[in-house]
Amino acid sequence: QVQLAESGGGLVQPGGSLRLSCAASGSTLAYYGIGWFRQVPGKEREGISCISATDDSTWYADSVKGRFSISRDNANNAVVLEMSGLKPEDTAVYYCASERFVHYSCSVLHEFDVWGQGTQVTVSS
């Protein structure tokens, strides 16, 4: 079974950029639909982006559209989330997860059964 591990979080000033990586072991990540989620303590988890297993089509939540970009790094068996124009409200723990079943298009509403441990992103001056 695939195992996932996020990296790349940290402290960044408003307007800055970060590159998060979701690295896989145990299986080839290119076969999986992958979602990125974030959560702030006391708030519901928010699905922000995903990439499909079939044609690498992507989806973004309105809150990050135009600022975040998801892509595959197959050479490193990973999925990358490039984040730019970061805002204080982007502060959260960011998680990647793999879809349990293969779907033609990805959706953060699908069932995700494998999750990484999360990486903290803090946007503050």
| Residue located via tokens 């695939």 | 2
- Residue 52 is predicted with a pLDDT of 96
For 21-71, the pLDDT digits (tens) are: 999 999 999 999 999 999 999 999 999 999 999 999 999 999 999 999 999
Q: What confidence tier does 102 reach under pLDDT thresholds 50, 70, 90?
A: confident
Please, are residues 35 and 99 in contact by the beta-carbon 8 Å criterion? yes
pLDDT surpasses 90 at 104: no
- The pLDDT value given to residue 93: 98
